[in-house]
Structure 1
Amino acid sequence: MAQPPVHPHFVCKLHKSLYGLKQAPRAWNERFTTFLPSLGFHTTYSDSSLFVKHVGSEIVILLLYVDDIILTGNAIAAIQHVIQSLTTEFDIKDLGTLHYFLGIQISRISTRLFLSQTKYIQDLLHKTEMSDCKPCDTPCLPYNRLLKNDGVLFLEPGTYRSIVGALQYLTFTRPDIAFSVHQVSQFMQQPMVSHYTAVKRILRYLKGTLSYGITYAAGEVGLKAFSDADWASNPNDRRSTTGLVVFLGSNPISWSSKKQQTVSRSSTEAEYRAMSSTTAELDWIQQILTFLKIQMSCAPVLFCDNLSAIALSFNLVQHQKTKHIEVDVHFVRERVAKKQLLVQFVSFREQFADILTKGLSAPLFRTHCSNLMLGISSNHEFEGR
């Protein structure tokens, strides 16, 4: 944008926000979200980008990300009416059936959906000049931990941050690299050569799994989650790592690999903090499902591989050793007491969240990838529970 040549010293007063200005996304979002209620849409505090319209048994769901929109529902006529109304008010283009959204490729195979980011990975490998690299079996070495001051400083920290940032976006459809990306993300400020070597190993793994993605299939509606913690696993500050994965039916819909905010004094404490984080995630997902009028036939099930942490969720006696984690204890225990949450034991061999807390050997890593419905576009079967 440039000033008119006739009046170079004049100031332009904008009546509408121009695309590309800093305030343009906010102005567009305010304009769009203000219009949607006139069409009968409602939003929720659980997710401000999700809008739902209910008319009897018909439902239309609209998901908004800046100026990209996904529109779906169970009534074709109602969806078409919304599209026509939006076209009248805004300059939009209907791209038809969803097949590509924000770098995520969506393929429909019979009654299944396959989500992948193959093109995104190819572009990233080309950008980093790793297109011809040698693939490897796992994104990180088994049970390997990165040290903060390990060797020589990496001389291009900007490059490091750019690649790791791109990898973080890739975890939307690739939970298999979530832990590895979580590790290298902790050294953005002052990366070492060894940290960049770990980043290149992730890229080498992606090179060998270009076509990997997650398969979503229709089935029974029920929530279950797996919670795990690797106690004092971070050698730099001795904080534990929380891993969680939530399933809707047989489909993984939420996962996380994150360092805990405080140091845990025992493995039981670390596991219980992980259970608390998983319970909070389940609460949020239940709010979304309630907003969509999807009723659960039974309470969510939380699987944990630590018997002491499970016992703590049932035990009504507050022990001296758990006083400092009282908030987390009551948060989970309250839901268990009200039968809003079922906590069950799972063996470490069937702990799906294990892949989100540590590097694993290649055979076990592949097993958990299959459990998370990760692979090429084909039928998948659960291994284990």
Structure 2
Amino acid sequence: MLVYVDDILVTGNSVRAVDDFIRALSARFVTRDLGDLSFFLGIEAISQANGGLLLSQRQYMLDLLVKANMEHCKPASTPMSTSSTEGDSAAAPPDPTVYRQLVGSLQYLTLSRPDISYAVNRVCQHMHAPDASHFLLVKRILRYVKATLHLGLLLLPSPNMSIQAFSDADWAGSSSDRRSTGGYAVYLSPNLISWQSKKQRTVARSSTGSEYKALANCSAEISWLTSLFTNPVFHAQTKHIEIDFHFFISTKDQITDLTKPLSSSLFAFFGDKLRLCSRPPSTCEGSIR
């Protein structure tokens, strides 16, 4: 059961149990059953013929573009340019309130759009004192949103509960404080269920150091998800993660490249691996290639 103020979403593997729960809830409170899931907190759930769901925020994106007066903007193929720089603009600084509102809205959009995680993380780092160059970065993200209104996050049914994770990091990528950015993506079978792109708290002295910090964050997320799936009861004792092997994969196969701007060809390639699917979703495939 997912509850947000007075909106409730109920699901389960027994239709009878779900119906019994809804009836019991209705006996205690004034409720309205809206039927099968279709729209929840700005996220549209589009049922698939194979039993899957496409989570889309298309209407939310359209409203955001209108809010930013960019509904007629020129689309962009990526959310960031590979040559983007910060702090080098002679134009007047933006209204900080408007900047924070737009960036906050983009943060909510990352619920179904992992492909903009890195770009949104970058603009979030300047909420306190944005300048004109930072506002240009926000506009670039919105131009990419305009070009990809059809994309959403695809979730597919699966008989197994295997967890697969990818982790990556740049090294000293921030020109202002030389801190690195780490990212990870965690899949439950074919479904992307958790992702992050975030600047690391401390400065890494080597690329290996930044990679290990990213791995530590990824391992903590996997540990938490595993405990959530196996036993929802909190235990004071925690289990240590044994690392049997260390290995790295080629950059061209690194799905979690949420640490830097990418070319349009690489961005499109990795976007497919992040389970982003177009409306209508008839061409979506059910596995990570």
Same fold (TM over 0.5): yes
SS in 1 for 2:184: strand
Q: Which aligned pairs between 1:371-382 and structure 2 lie closer than 5 A?
A: 371-376=273-278, 377-381=281-285
Contact kept? 2:169, 2:214, Cα under 8 Å: yes
Max Rg structure: 1
SS in 2 for 1:335: coil
Distance 2:3 2:94 in 1: 39
**Residue 167 of structure 1, aligned match among 99, 102, 106:** 106
Contact kept? 1:371, 1:381, Cα under 8 Å: no
1:382 is displaced (CA, Å) by 8.0
| Cα distance change, pair 143–281 in 1 and its aligned pair in 2 (3 A) | farther
| Corresponding residue number in structure 2 for 1:187 | 126
Contact kept? 1:370, 1:382, Cα under 8 Å: no
**Residue 335 of structure 1, aligned match among 232, 241, 244:** 241
**Residue 248 of structure 2, aligned match among 334, 345, 350:** 345
**Residue 181 of structure 2, aligned match among 237, 241, 264:** 241
Q: Which aligned pairs between 1:39-78 and structure 2 lie closer than 5 A?
A: 62-78=1-17
SS in 1 for 2:164: strand
Q: Which aligned pairs between 1:113-124 and structure 2 lie closer than 5 A?
A: 113-124=53-64
**Residue 231 of structure 1, aligned match among 156, 159, 171:** 171
Contact kept? 2:53, 2:156, Cα under 8 Å: yes
Q: Which aligned pairs between 1:87-106 and structure 2 lie closer than 5 A?
A: 87-106=26-45
Contact kept? 1:244, 1:256, Cα under 8 Å: yes
| Corresponding residue number in structure 1 for 2:143 | 204
Runs of 4+ in 1 over 2 A off after TM superposition: 143-147, 149-153, 342-345, 377-385
Identity %: 43
Higher helix share: 1
Contact kept? 1:153, 1:193, Cα under 8 Å: yes
Q: Which aligned pairs between 1:280-295 and structure 2 lie closer than 5 A?
A: 280-291=220-231
Higher relative contact order, chain-length normalized (CA < 8 Å, sep 6+): 2
Distance 1:256 1:361 in 2: 20
| Cα distance change, pair 150–65 in 1 and its aligned pair in 2 (3 A) | same
SS in 1 for 2:37: coil
| Corresponding residue number in structure 2 for 1:215 | 154
Query: 1:294-324: per-residue Cα shift (whole Å, max 9, x none)?
Result: xxxxxxxxxxxxxxxxxxxxxxxxxxxxxxx
RMSD between superposed Cα atoms in Å: 2.1
Distance 1:90 1:266 in 2: 58
| Corresponding residue number in structure 2 for 1:363 | 265
1:212 is displaced (CA, Å) by 0.5
| Corresponding residue number in structure 2 for 1:81 | 20
1:374 is displaced (CA, Å) by 0.8
Uncovered stretches (5+) of structure 1, i.e. residues with no partner: 1-61, 294-330
SS in 2 for 1:187: coil
Contact kept? 2:190, 2:288, Cα under 8 Å: no
TM-score of the two chains, using structure 1 as the length reference: 0.69
Residue identity opposite 1:336 in structure 2 = E
1:127 is displaced (CA, Å) by 1.1
1:238 is displaced (CA, Å) by 0.5
Structure 1 range deviating more: 202-211 or 149-158: 149-158
Distance 1:79 1:129 in 2: 43
| Corresponding residue number in structure 2 for 1:130 | 70
Q: Which aligned pairs between 1:269-280 and structure 2 lie closer than 5 A?
A: 269-280=209-220
Residue identity opposite 2:256 in structure 1 = A
Residue identity opposite 1:369 in structure 2 = G
Distance 1:383 1:87 in 2: 40
Query: 1:211-250: per-residue Cα shift (whole Å, max 9, x none)?
Result: 1001111223210100000110011101000111000111
1:345 is displaced (CA, Å) by 2.6
1:384 is displaced (CA, Å) by 7.7
TM-score of the two chains, using structure 2 as the length reference: 0.91
Query: 1:8-38: per-residue Cα shift (whole Å, max 9, x none)?
Result: xxxxxxxxxxxxxxxxxxxxxxxxxxxxxxx
Distance 1:234 1:184 in 2: 12
Contact kept? 2:94, 2:135, Cα under 8 Å: no
Distance 2:170 2:147 in 1: 27
Residue identity opposite 1:128 in structure 2 = A
| Cα distance change, pair 343–107 in 1 and its aligned pair in 2 (3 A) | farther
| Cα distance change, pair 87–72 in 1 and its aligned pair in 2 (3 A) | same
Distance 2:148 2:80 in 1: 14
Query: 1:102-158: per-residue Cα shift (whole Å, max 9, x none)?
Result: 1111011121110010000000111111111110100000263434x6544514111
